[in-house]
Structures are given as structure tokens and as C-alpha cells.
């Protein structure tokens, strides 16, 4: 505890003020035990008698209370006059001082509005939060058992720093899993374990992009792509998306170093990149000596038809970098993702990874490797697909019944959210719909944050994985009322 005397007056008065300030400013909270007298006296460089006088004054004023054979505790109810005093300015204002200068990367991030990834919580409402799985259905008991065992059996090497690519067992397990699930062709040495997909995108930007180089991003798109490449000071080029995915013909008119795509389940609209356009995209990268970052977003959650192959599985010329995460299949707090890079780029990416961190959490990686190798992750994925397919069907049926021809949902039956377009309303009206929904007890989220260009009409992102069928139906009923109110006001 960093306690300091102010040097004014008697020592016991200085000790009283230091201890009182610590309590008032929350260093010790109501009900918390204070350190022992010997420790406090040593911290303040005081005699025990001087400290006792200060403690007695705090007791008499109601800040602390003794407990028999236990010591001093902060009072459960502090005196009414215990509000903290305003902090004094640390420096004297200098009218001639220039504003603090930020780096170009920091200015770019500020312009693109990067902040917290956490959406606002709406307690007591039907909340169509997107990007989150059904937490109550996670295999948490299995996960806790595996993690606990690896903690108990950990050796000194397991508790030290890890190689930048990740735990060898997890890299091998991911290579095998991705081959089974997505047809990805790679060796374990090509798999880099990351702190979620966002770090994977950041590494792609660090290794492949120089300031001013042009990067094509889908429009609309996953905002994390914009943040990663804006920080690298790339010139961001919006590439339109239609019902067949990225409009590859638009790339032919651009000189791009790299294109970022979500081909299996486009974020946010949910459309799939057709086989013809996949071939065209790979041909473009080969002919232009460009790269493709394939974010295989939500690829585990496809509810109808045969899974489309990953772009990486079709790549014969080492042009595709494959990005994935376990945040949706398990839970976001796990913070483990992966990046599969072409063999010639492995050393450069490992160096970049070592420069930005000292390795993802090792014990969690070991437990995850066992979860994958045991087959439990894929069994969990099959169970989750069945449940989410039912939720999505309920949501689509409810939207069709309540909004009918006034709405459009272009996405394929896949993923954890649905993209809702309201063609009869301008883009700005989506915020009015959201406000109307909140007034009725339902939280929905506007899609305008996903655009680099100006959207043509209102859109919403509706997550459904963490809701029951009844909640979905009631939520859509309230949402439809909010839409009708906005329509009537126009």
C-alpha cells in the first residue's frame, strides 16, 4: 500500500490524514480489514504509539471499527462528510503548451472510432446482442476439468513463456481440426495461435502492409478489419457486396496489395461467396501478386446444404491467409484464435508475433488442445448447430410474419446473427428504430457501423444464439411495433 505523509503538523495527524484519504478514495472498501499495526507503522515509518493515536481518531470519527482478536476494519457505513475532495491539478496549466501529439496510427484509429468491443448491456430487456454464443450451453464443466488438471500437473516449462507460434500440441490439434472441418491444408508449423481473430488481422497488417498501400475491404464489413488496417495506415478501398458475395469484378479496376473477405458467411449480411467468384478472387490474387485474408467467420454454424470449401483449401499459389477464432464456438473470454499462413511467410509472421506479445496463455492452450483432440469440441459444435438452427428458423418466421415485404434478410441459413434490411427507411432511421425498441423493452443494433461508404437504407444486426424461441418471438413483435412507429412518422 503506497501511503505518504504530507509533512504538515504532528506525525499522528499526518498519519490520520493519509489513512483517511485511503479509505475515502476506496483503497480500502467498507468491511475490508486494514493491514496489521506492524505493517502500517513500517509503511508510514512511524512508531506504534503514533500510529495508534491516528487509528483511534479514525475510530472516534466512524471510519474504522475494531473486531476482537481480528484487528481494524473499515466501517460498513462511512460518515456523511466522507466524500473525497477534488483532486488538485498535477501541473500548472501552460497557455503556450501545444496539444499532445499522437502517432499517425493513433489518429487513424480515432478517425475510425475504435473503442470497446463490449456492446451495452440492457438488463431486463430482450436483447438481440450479436457476436455471442449461448453461454448456458457451453461445455464449461469439461473445460474446467481439463484446465484444472493441466494446472495441477504443470511443470516449470509449462509456466514459462511460450514460443510465439503457440503450444505445439494446440498447433497440431488445430491443423488436424481445420483439415477435417474446413479442408484447410497446412502443417502445424503454419498455424500461429493468436489472442483472438483481431490479433490475427493485426499481424496481417503489420507483416504485409506499408503505409499508403491499398487494401480492399467488403462494404459492408466486419469493423475489426477496418481498425486493423487503419492502424497500419493503409488506404482502405470499399468493395461492394451483393447477394453472391464480394463483387470480384470491382477488384479488376483496383491496384490492391490485399483484399479481406468473409466468403463462407459474409459479415454482416450472411451471404456466401459463390464458387465462380471464389475462383475469380483466387485468379485475381495470383495475377496481381496480391494477398487474400480469409476470415472464416461463423463457418462452424451452417444449417442447410453442404459446407462450401474454404478459400485456403482451393489456393494453389500461396495467396491466402486463413483467420479463425474459438470465440463463437466456445466463448469470447477464451481469447484464443488462429492464423494459418503460407509456408514462405511463416518466419516473418512468427517474428511479428514475438514482437507484439510473449505468447498466448499456455495452460489454456494445452487444455484446448486436449478438448479438440478428444473430439469434444466437434461434438459440442454438432449440438450447438441443432439448437441455433431452430433459433434462426424461429427468428426468420417471426420477421416474415410481422414485417413481410417491408423487410429483407439476404443471408444464407448460417451463423449466429441475422442481417435485417428495411428498404423503405433511410439509413438514419435505424437509430430511431433502435430507440423505439428500447422503449418497448427490446434491444436491437444498427448496421451503419459496418459501412465505409454511405449505406442506402436502414439495417439492423440481430443476434439470436443467446435467446429462447419465446424471447425471439416477443422481441420481434416489439421490434415490428417500433418499425411501424418510425414508418408512420415519415
> For residue 471, which of 139, 119, 129, 117 has the smallest C-alpha distance?
129
CB-based burial of residue 67 (10 Å sphere; 0-12 exposed, 13-18 middle, 19+ buried)?
A: exposed
Across the chain, mean pLDDT equals: 91
| Number of C-beta neighbours around residue 133 at 10 A | 20
The pTM for the full model equals 0.85
pLDDT interval class at 156 (50, 70, 90): confident
Q: Is a pLDDT exceeding 90 seen at residue 104?
A: no
Q: Is a pLDDT exceeding 70 seen at residue 103?
A: yes
Model pLDDT, residue 114: 58
Q: Is a pLDDT exceeding 80 seen at residue 84?
A: no
Average pLDDT over residues 429-453: 95
Average pLDDT over residues 461-470: 96
Exposure class string for 413-448: b at 16+ Cβ within 10 A, else e: bbbbbbbbbbeebebebbebbbebbbebebbbbbbb
pLDDT tens track for 181-191: 999 999 999 99
Query: Higher model confidence: residue 117 or residue 58?
Result: 58
Model pLDDT, residue 89: 57
Which residues make Cβ contacts (< 8 Å) with residue 140, sequence separation at least 6?
none
Alpha-carbon distance of 22 to 29, in angstroms, equals 9
Reading the block at residue 334, the C-alpha cell is 477464451
Grid cell 468473409 in the structure block, residue = 262
Per DSSP, what are the bridge partners of residue 215? 236, 258
Domains of the chain: 11-74 (1.10.10.10), 121-135+381-489 (3.90.1150.10), 138-378 (3.40.640.10)
pLDDT interval class at 304 (50, 70, 90): confident
Alpha-carbon distance of 409 to 102, in angstroms, equals 42
pLDDT tens track for 250-295: 998 889 999 999 999 999 999 999 999 999 999 999 999 999 999 9
Average pLDDT over residues 331-342: 95
Alpha-carbon distance of 381 to 50, in angstroms, equals 65
Q: Give percent of the chain with pLDDT exceeding 90.
A: 75
Helix, strand and coil in the chain, % to nearest 5: 45, 15, 40
pLDDT tens track for 344-383: 999 999 999 999 998 888 999 999 999 999 999 999 999 9
Q: Is a pLDDT exceeding 90 seen at residue 408?
A: yes
Alpha-carbon distance of 145 to 147, in angstroms, equals 6
Polymer length of the chain = 490
Residue 410 sits at the vertex; the CA angle it makes with 251 and 461, to the nearest 5 degrees, is 95
Distance of CA 135 to the CA centre of its chain: 15
pLDDT tens track for 119-140: 777 888 999 999 889 999 999 9
> For residue 320, which of 256, 250, 261 has the smallest C-alpha distance?
261
The angle that helices 346-356 and 196-208 make with each other, rounded to 10 degrees, is: 120
Average pLDDT over residues 164-192: 96
Alpha-carbon distance of 457 to 422, in angstroms, equals 7
Q: Is a pLDDT exceeding 70 seen at residue 321?
A: yes
Q: Give percent of the chain with pLDDT exceeding 70.
A: 95
pLDDT interval class at 329 (50, 70, 90): very high
> For residue 443, which of 485, 405, 488, 474 has the smallest C-alpha distance?
474
Exposure class string for 241-273: b at 16+ Cβ within 10 A, else e: beeebbebeebeeeebbbbbbbbbbbbbbbbbb
Model pLDDT, residue 118: 66
Model pLDDT, residue 90: 55
Alpha-carbon distance of 401 to 409, in angstroms, equals 13
Alpha-carbon distance of 192 to 186, in angstroms, equals 11
CB-based burial of residue 482 (10 Å sphere; 0-12 exposed, 13-18 middle, 19+ buried)?
A: buried
pLDDT interval class at 405 (50, 70, 90): very high
Strand blocks (E) in 378-490:
417-422, 442-443, 445-446, 458-463
Model pLDDT, residue 113: 63
Amino acid at each position: 500500500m503506497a501511503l505518504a505523509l504530507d509533512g504538515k503538523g504532528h506525525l499522528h495527524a499526518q498519519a490520520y490524514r493519509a489513512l483517511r484519504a485511503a479509505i475515502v478514495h476506496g483503497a480500502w472498501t467498507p468491511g475490508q480489514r486494514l493491514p496489521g499495526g506492524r505493517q502500517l507503522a513500517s509503511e508510514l515509518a512511524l512508531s506504534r504509539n503514533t500510529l495508534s493515536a491516528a487509528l483511534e481518531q479514525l475510530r472516534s470519527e466512524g471510519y474504522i471499527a475494531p473486531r476482537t482478536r481480528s484487528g481494524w476494519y473499515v466501517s460498513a457505513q462511512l460518515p456523511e462528510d466522507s466524500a473525497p475532495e477534488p483532486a488538485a491539478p498535477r501541473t500548472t496549466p501552460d497557455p503556450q503548451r501545444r496539444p499532445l501529439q499522437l502517432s499517425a496510427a493513433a489518429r487513424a484509429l480515432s478517425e475510425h472510432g475504435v473503442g470497446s468491443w463490449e456492446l451495452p448491456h440492457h438488463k431486463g430487456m430482450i436483447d438481440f446482442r450479436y457476436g455471442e454464443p449461448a453461454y448456458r450451453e457451453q461445455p464449461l464443466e469439461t473445460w474446467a476439468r481439463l484446465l484444472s488438471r493441466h494446472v495441477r500437473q504443470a511443470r516449470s516449462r509449462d509456466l514459462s513463456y511460450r514460443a510465439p507460434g503457440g503450444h505445439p500440441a494446440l498447433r497440431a490439434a488445430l491443423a488436424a481440426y481445420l483439415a477435417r472441418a474446413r479442408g484447410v491444408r497446412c502443417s502445424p508449423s503454419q498455424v500461429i495461435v493468436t489472442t483472438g481473430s483481431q490479433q490475427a488481422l493485426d499481424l496481417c497488417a503489420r507483416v504485409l502492409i506499408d503505409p499508403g498501400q491499398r487494401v480492399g475491404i467488403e462494404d459492408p464489413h466486419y469493423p475489426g478489419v477496418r481498425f486493423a488496417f487503419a492502424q497500419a495506415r493503409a488506404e482502405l478501398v470499399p468493395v461492394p457486396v451483393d447477394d453472391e458475395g464480394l463483387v470480384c469484378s470491382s477488384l479488376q479496376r483496383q491496384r490492391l496489395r490485399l483484399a479481406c473477405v468473409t466468403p463462407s458467411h459474409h459479415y454482416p449480411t450472411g451471404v456466401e461467396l459463390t464458387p465462380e467468384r471464389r475462383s475469380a478472387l483466387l485468379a485475381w490474387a495470383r495475377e496481381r501478386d496480391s494477398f487474400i485474408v480469409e476470415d472464416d467467420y461463423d463457418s462452424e454454424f451452417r444449417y442447410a446444404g453442404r459446407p462450401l470449401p474454404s478459400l485456403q483449401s482451393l489456393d494453389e499459389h500461396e495467396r491466402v491467409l486463413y483467420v479463425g477464432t474459438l470465440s463463437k464456438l466456445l466463448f469470447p473470454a477464451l481469447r484464443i484464435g488462429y492464423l494459418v499462413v503460407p509456408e514462405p511467410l511463416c518466419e516473418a509472421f512468427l517474428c511479428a508475433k514475438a514482437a507484439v506479445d510473449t505468447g498466448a496463455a499456455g495452460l489454456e492452450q494445452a487444455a484446448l488442445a486436449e478438448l479438440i483432440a478428444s473430439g469434444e469440441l466437434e461434438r459440442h459444435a454438432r449440438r450447438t448447430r441443432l439448437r441455433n438452427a431452430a433459433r434462426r428458423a424461429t427468428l426468420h418466421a417471426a420477421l416474415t410474419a410481422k414485417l413481410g415485404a417491408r423487410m429483407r434478410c439476404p443471408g444464407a441459413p448460417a451463423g449466429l446473427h441475422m442481417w435485417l434490411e428495411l428498404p423503405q427507411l433511410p439509413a438514419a432511421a435505424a437509430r430511431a428504430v433502435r430507440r423505439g425498441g428500447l422503449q418497448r423493452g427490446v434491444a436491437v443494433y444498427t448496421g451503419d457501423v459496418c459501412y465505409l461508404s454511405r449505406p442506402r437504407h436502414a439495417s439492423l444486426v440481430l443476434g439470436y444464439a443467446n435467446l429462447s424461441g419465446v424471447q425471439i418471438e416477443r422481441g420481434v413483435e416489439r421490434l415490428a411495433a417500433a418499425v411501424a412507429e418510425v414508418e408512420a412518422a415519415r
